[in-house]
Structure 1
Amino acid sequence: MKYTLGTFAVVMIFISARDAHAVLTATSTRGLAATDLDGMLSTTDAIAGLIATELPGDTGWHPVNPAANDSLHPNGLPAFTDGQGGVNVFTGLLNDFPEPRGVPVKLIQYDLAQPIDLERIHILSGNINNADGRIFSTTAIRYSTDGGQNFTPLGYFESAPLGSINNESGDLGTTMDHALLLEIFDDAGGDLASAVTNLQFDFFSVDNTGGQYRDPFDGVNPFTELDDGLSSAFVSPLIWEIDVIGQPVAGDTADFDSDADVDGADLLAWQRGFGVTGSATRAMGDANQDQAVNALDLDVWKQQFGAAVAAVPEPATLGGVLVAASLACVGVRRR
């Protein structure tokens, strides 16, 4: 049996000026049984099957999780993108007792195969053995549009109202759920962010031993600038699945710096990336997403030069720029 706990405002929203139209919403759906929400997972999303990179500061895994000795164990990093829920009692079990309190317990990055217009993010957490606070999740998410060189905060997300209690006591006001799916999307129907190339997730501790959902900080939460009046969480969640849903960036584009126009700055990016093969990104000058920066990408730049700018260059001006581009191409080839 599954049911929707409710839709609630994201506690703190960070939106770049480029995506200022987005109105972030977080919806929490709960499952009484551990498998109740498995049908809501994706096996074809943008990070399906990808293995994340653990970032500096990552604290590993709970000692009882076999992934503690090998992050590539099925209970470790592969579990986040395998399209399944909790396979066993240790699936995605993160480390407890962060020191100092308030630091993330898991810091990971996904490098997407190609840029996407990001539509939704789903995070499934739960506990097969017990109905307790490990079903909650607290996450800070950042995204990049330039191949991971720079990241913009998307938001800080809490999966339920702070103070909520999930345990098997049956006391009035408590729940006894085994799974929770947090869905993050734009309530206005738009994209969360455009041309996303990389995503970072910071997961935090979520509760005390009584199953009470708390923020990870003692005192004021630096994300929300609020104090929940509770001591900090120190028990961490089991993260069963992360789904990143979006559409590949449509068509070829020479907007290499993602500033909504095609101009000389994009030509400079192409010049710097010229010759890269097999690993090129759009930020390097790969306009046609073939992972190489070459004359084909320059052709796209020529076709799109001046797009989305207030004043279209005069033919003589454009011709001068194209001549310079051709000379630059010849110059690079001679090196």
Structure 2
Amino acid sequence: MDMINILRTIRQLDRPAVLATIIGVEGHAYRKAGAAMLLPLNGDTVGTVSPGCIESDLLERVPSIWEASRYEVAEYNMDPEDDPIWGEAVGCGGVIRVLLEPIEGALRGILMDALDLLDAGKEVRFMRGLKGEELFYELATEETVRFPSDESYDWQFSIRLTNRQRVILFGAGPDAVPIYQLLMQSSFHVIVADWRPRLLAAYPDAEHYLGTPEQLKEKLQLSAEDAVVVCSHHLHYDREMIKWSLTSRPKYIGVMGSTKRIGMLFNGEVPPATVKAPIGLSIGAEGPYEIAVSIAAELIALRNQWRNKQKEVRHEPIRNLFGGGTEQPNGQAEAAAGAFFGRSARQYGASCSAH
């Protein structure tokens, strides 16, 4: 999810920066392979690749990487057996390999191409390939496309880039504010809709639409990929919004309200399978903030389920160097540092500062 923010920041960026991408994980780690972070020279970072353990070290590498105009691979060993001080303190117990690339030339160009495709509503697969000591980049826009096996590549690594899951938040009352905030912080694309201008004024930075459900049809253009949260607390308009949403068959429709009110909304009938009523995970939530947590948690869980069928990160075995991928105990392919032999900068354990 960080990549959308990173790409949009790069588009506006007018200063040197380095892109950090996790390309290999052995054992446990806070973020998985494919997680990325933008490291501008001035230190204003976007995204995360750890809970704060390795960021300082990564930032220290930025000036030299930019000056050399060359990528680098940093390796961080958090295994307590190899490093009883830092490994145990961090509690990760794994090895993380991070590819650092200066944002310039071919990389910047292809990242901007990827953003243009995402803005056009397409999914993108971004591939890096290593030939000797040179990195090459490719894009594919069809989900079913697999990059051809090219024996001239010593190593390949690809990630799937998608737009944020769109959530229509119908109802802009005070209890919707924490829902909006949590969903935005959880990398959803939240659109607030209501027929009351006074309530929409509480969302000055949000994408918002004014109108009744009937008026919103043309403005919002619901799709099967959307999720809808109905929380206007107006019986007639909530019912209209649910009815319209059902005809568009979005992935999820969540309805806020008591069991009695939900019974009134559906005329005593059992809601369809795509409708979650009442909305949110059953955690005994009370009050707007706890309810917002239950809703955000439910949507995060569902988003991950929807994406499980298509892995966000696809690893290609390292060829020519090891005679195929070597399986690790945690199921990950042999990590990429070996493929970058001679270009790999390694840092064990003490990558975390003691401040």
Please indicate the TM-score interval, normalised by the length of the shorter structure.
Answer: under 0.3
Q: TM-score, normalised by structure 1?
A: 0.26
Q: 1 or 2, which has the higher helix percentage?
A: 2
